[in-house]
Chains A and B, each alone.
Chain A
Amino acid sequence: MEQYIPLFLTKYNYWVYIALMMIGLWAMIAKNNLVKKIVGMNIFQTAIILFYVSIGAKYGATIPILQHGSGHGHEAAVRAADYINPLPHVLMLTAIVVSVATLGVALALVIRIHQRHRTLEEDEILEQLRES
């Protein structure tokens, strides 16, 4: 049992993201309402974003903005270990933008589906499609 405690303490962040991700996946697969599926998709995306950002973390480092950064940078040398990894932040900045864009388009599609079928329940929509 005792050998699992350090494992938990160093890895529990990943487990939180996996739990979040599975909540989103469950919502996308099992929920019947289209808006709930979209909410699930957003939870899934948020879990991925948190996962990437936590990869960039370093103990004892600060945010990736250089201190004493004015002027043209011929001052003291910058040590990479003092700053957390900026790349996951950049990648997730763009991923957040994509998630907003997909959310907007998904909601627009849901509105169009509701205008045509007057319902957002997947089984009722499928039934209407089979009848026609």
Chain B
Amino acid sequence: MKALALAIVALVGGLLISATVDFPDWGDPASPAALHVSPRYIEKTMEDTSVPNIVTSVLADYRGFDTMFETTVVFTAGVACFLLLRRREPRPGPSRVYRHRASGVIVEMSQAPDTEPAPEVFKRIDDDWTPHDLIVMNVCRLLIPFIQLFGLYVIAHGHHSPGGGFQGGVILGASVILLALSWDLRTASLRMREVATGLMSAIGVFIYAGVGALALAMGGNFLDYAALAPILMVDPVAARSLGIFFVEVGVGLAVMATMVLIYKNLASEGRLDQGL
């Protein structure tokens, strides 16, 4: 088996390397990829959309359909993880572990209690509990708001600098995952509940498709943001820029919520009570 795999890998690698002789040189400004389609985008982007970041304008406007279904792919992946993993019953062994806040004594209850003990007195901890590191917890607590602010900046400033909905959404999702890693999954789940993650990822896709459908209703083509100019009360070129911003917000929402949804289900094997 290993010999067969090695033969296949060597054959494919050799064929690919022999094919690279015909490829354009690295960084050649006259390579075929740089000659036919892309100059049109580079030269006309400002005229068409007034967005200096060509990647953003191509992503959300010229290739808007592609990105819309890309967002749908992300949403579908979240739904698939949810359907594969999510289960309602608690972990095998219904014991729960609490720490008495004042004394630090750890109590294990073999039966899950009907009513949770008062949270000011007892703190529930994971049963494969590691002592919480005060420095890690507090540094993360201080950092997370700034990380989220930066995520919002990356989404909103994607027209003028590297960034956009996907990148900003991942940063926002990472901030919630950082909270789950440095505190615990329950703390993160209290800040962003399961219903919220599901709803937000669906709403993100809905915003994107909704902007497209609104353009259709205003008499333009689907996702032709210039048709939104009468509502936004700007000229059609600026309307394209604003339309790109709206769909980027939708993308950001969907990506953030889906990242958190996937992480929570993976970390807790779909039980969402405790995990990494």
Contacts and interface: CB of A to CB of B under 8 A. Distances in A.
A80 B42 contact: yes
B13 A18 contact: yes
Contacts of B259: 100
A97 B74 contact: yes
Query: Which one of B20, B34, B47, B84 has the highest number of Cβ atoms from chain A below 10 Å of its Cβ?
Result: B34
Interface residues of B, number: 67
Interface string B1-40: 1100110110011001100110111111101011001110
A94 B67 contact: yes
Interface string A60-103: 11011111011111100111110101111110011011101110
Given A22-B12, A64-B55, A93-B55, A104 B81 contact: yes
Contacts of B53: 64-66, 69
A130 interface: no
Contact of B26 (A57, A64, A97, A108): A57
A18 B70 CA distance: 27
B12 to A, nearest CB: 7
Contacts of A58: 27-29, 31, 34
A64 B16 CA distance: 29
Contact of B73 (A15, A55, A98): A98
A49 interface: no
Given A7-B21, A29-B9, A108 B58 contact: no
A119 interface: no
A64 B266 contact: no
A80 B41 CA distance: 9
A21 B16 CA distance: 10
B70 A98 contact: yes
A57 B27 contact: yes
B63 interface: yes
Given A25-B9, A107-B266, A11 B20 contact: yes
A108 B17 contact: no
A78 B43 contact: yes
Contacts of A11: 20-21, 23, 25-26
B52 interface: yes
Interface in A1-52: 7, 10-15, 18-19, 21-22, 25-26, 29-30
A1 to B, nearest CB: 16
A87 B160 CA distance: 17
Nearest to B15: A18
Nearest to B48: A73
A73 B81 contact: no
Given A58-B27, A90-B55, A104-B266, 18 more contacts: A10-B25, A14-B23, A25-B12, A26-B6, A60-B29, A64-B54, A66-B46, A66-B52, A73-B237, A80-B43, A81-B29, A83-B42, A86-B42, A87-B37, A88-B33, A94-B59, A96-B166, A104-B78
26 contacts: A10-B26, A14-B17, A21-B13, A25-B9, A26-B6, A56-B33, A64-B54, A66-B45, A70-B52, A73-B46, A81-B29, A85-B34, A86-B41, A86-B42, A86-B58, A90-B55, A97-B74, A97-B255, A98-B70, A100-B74, A100-B77, A101-B76, A101-B77, A102-B77, A104-B262, A108-B84
